[in-house]
Amino acid sequence: MKRFTPENLTPLSWTPFYATLGTDDRLAYNRLHGLYFLEQTIFFEQLLGRPVLDHLARHAPDESLRREAREFAEEENLHTSWFRDLLREERPGWYSKSDFHLIGAGAPQRLIIRWLGRNVRFLPALLWLQLMAEERALYFGLQFMKDDDSLDGRFRAVQKKHLADEPGHIRRDELFIHALWDTASPRLRSLNAKLLHWLLREYFLLPKRSGWNVVEHWLKERPHLIPRRDEARQAMDGLARNEAFVKSLYPRRHLPRTATLSQAWQELAFLQRFLTD
């Protein structure tokens, strides 16, 4: 039985609690987290990314940008289809009707997120989120390539294919930022910078909601661990104080475009503190 994701991409593996677990329990957690990672990528590509790209494909200021957005959306659709196929192959019961089982975003939340994306003109913060997500996809994907023989070949292969397209996406994210962030008023930029900072800390930093959801599913699958639920909760909560873990989340050297590009705007100075060395 092989892993679905490199161990260092799973939050619990950074805790002392993990060291007390048996091999099968660790593997079960790793595999669930591997599925969650694919869900997360689909979430970024389809819920956050697609409405933004569809909007840009129609309303971007010039034809070359509109074409870039169309091609970008087509590539993301293809990626999503690879991830979806793998999820369905692995857990048909979970994924035959929905792409999301471990991510706790219900239909109302999904509608709101899509609506936000369509209003990217007023919410250019979404373009920064997208750029950061793409740089992290590259960073995480490279971890799959580093791994030895312990990873499931299907999960490794799908990341390898994905890696090939991400640099092109990062290039396009930068074009869109120049088109929309540059032209926004200082007031809109400042509001969006505050929103971006809040979103990053609340939803995209520590494993809060969905990260715990994965643990809950894992406990259900490994009922002998249910008496250790509180210990697992404490371990997850302790991650906020785990410097090595926090530093693994947004390392500056793996988000070089975000680090460099954001320097052009004073309202984004907080990103220099958010990214870690």
217 binds Fe ion (CB under 5 A): no
d(CA 232, CA 33): 15
Number of residues that bind Fe ion (CB under 5 A): 3
Q: Of 25-33, 60-68, 76-84, 116-124, which segment contacts Fe ion by CB under 5 A?
A: 76-84
Binding mask 103-122 for Fe ion (x = CB under 5 A): --------------------
From 14-22, 165-173, 187-195, 226-234, span contacting Fe ion (CB under 5 A):
165-173
Beta bridge partners of 251: 276
CB of 220 to Fe ion, least distance (A): 30
79 is a contact residue toward Fe ion (CB under 5 A):
yes
Smallest distance from Fe ion to CB 269, Å: 26
Q: With binding defined as CB under 5 A, does residue 169 bind Fe ion?
A: yes
Q: Which is nearer to Fe ion, 7 or 124 (CB)?
A: 124
Cα distances (Å, whole numbers) of residue 78 to 37, 82, 135:
17, 7, 19
Interface with Fe ion (CB under 5 A): 79, 134, 169
